Structure formats: structure tokens, C-alpha cells
């Protein structure tokens, strides 16, 4: 018996042998990760969610006392939540021609990079003449403009 190719020995094509070798390697790698986690060497972050989960215990619709109790507990959590980025009053309050990066960053959806682009536009093209001119700044589209236009003014 003459030995030729590997495919002659096992009866598989070269592609089938490569797929089998790949799948065997992936299996062994996964097995190694599994045993590594079992050994205790892997320290995954463990967090006890039971306290927060207890707020959302399903209660019956008819039991108004328990549902209002849970609603009250959830509402009490609100002060601990991070404050919204937008701390501006509802009326227009920022002058596009005078505002700095920190003031412009307070606008909803406007971060430091976009604020820098607004200031760069102002330096390049001069003072804003109308609020709608803000749409010319790269990064300010119609949707973002609609969210921030109630907070901005242009004073010439």
C-alpha cells in the first residue's frame, strides 16, 4: 500500500480537513476557557442586583396599594440618577456670537467637539447673523438644530 495524500488516508478532501482542524481548534480553545473559569482564576465582576430588582416585583393590577408603593420607591431613586447634561432654562439663553465652549456644550446633543466647530465657524465666517446659520456648521443637522434652537439667540 502506497501512502499518498492525506485525503487518500482519511477519505476527506483538503477543504474538509481544514474545516475539521479549525473546528477542533475552536472547540479546544472554548474548552480551555471553560476550565479556566471553573478553576477560579478568572475574577468576573459580581454585582448583587437583588436590591434593585425588588423594586420591580410584579404585582397584580387589582392591588393598587402595592403598585403605588413600588412606584413611590422607583420615584425616590430619581434623585440618585445622574443629572441631565442640559441645565438650561426653556427660554433662549445662549448667544451664539459670545458663547464659549463650556456654554455651547450645555446645549442638548452638543459636545465639546461640536462646540469647537461652532466657534471655528464663527472665527472663519464672522458673527452669526441669524440662528438658522448654525445649520452650516458641520455636525449640526436639522434634527439637532430643532432640539437646540429654543436655547440659542443671536445678538448683533
Report field, pTM of the whole predicted structure over 0.85? no
Give me the residue label for grid cell 443637522. 141
Q: Are 118 and 137 in contact (CB under 8 A)?
A: yes
Output the pLDDT for position 80: 46
Residue 83, φ and ψ in degrees, nearest 5: -70, 150
Whole-angstrom distance, CA of residue 46 vs CA of residue 57: 22
49-87 pLDDT tens trace: 666 665 555 444 444 555 555 555 555 554 444 444 555
pLDDT digits (tens, 9 = 90+) for 18-43: 999 999 999 999 999 888 888 776 66
The H-assigned helical ranges of the chain are 6-10, 14-38, 50-53, 64-77, 101-104, 112-125, 142-148
Cβ–Cβ < 8 Å for 138, 118: no
pLDDT digits (tens, 9 = 90+) for 105-114: 888 888 899 9
Q: From CA 17, how far away is CA 122, in angstroms rounded?
A: 64
Amino acid at each position: 500500500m502506497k501512502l499518498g495524500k492525506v485525503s487518500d488516508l482519511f477519505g476527506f478532501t483538503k477543504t474538509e480537513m481544514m474545516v475539521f482542524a479549525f473546528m477542533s481548534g475552536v472547540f479546544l480553545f472554548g474548552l480551555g476557557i471553560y476550565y479556566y473559569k471553573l478553576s477560579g482564576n478568572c475574577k468576573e465582576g459580581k454585582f448583587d442586583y437583588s436590591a434593585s430588582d425588588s423594586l420591580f416585583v410584579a404585582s397584580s393590577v387589582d392591588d393598587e396599594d402595592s403598585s403605588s408603593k413600588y412606584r413611590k420607591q422607583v420615584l425616590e431613586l430619581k434623585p440618585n440618577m445622574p443629572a441631565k447634561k442640559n441645565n438650561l432654562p426653556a427660554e433662549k439663553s445662549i448667544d451664539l456670537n459670545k458663547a464659549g465652549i463650556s456654554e455651547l456644550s450645555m446645549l442638548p446633543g452638543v459636545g465639546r467637539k461640536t462646540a469647537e466647530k461652532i466657534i471655528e465657524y464663527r472665527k472663519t465666517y464672522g458673527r452669526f447673523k441669524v440662528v438658522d446659520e448654525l445649520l452650516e456648521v458641520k455636525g449640526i443637522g436639522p434634527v439637532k438644530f430643532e432640539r437646540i434652537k429654543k436655547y440659542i439667540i443671536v445678538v448683533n
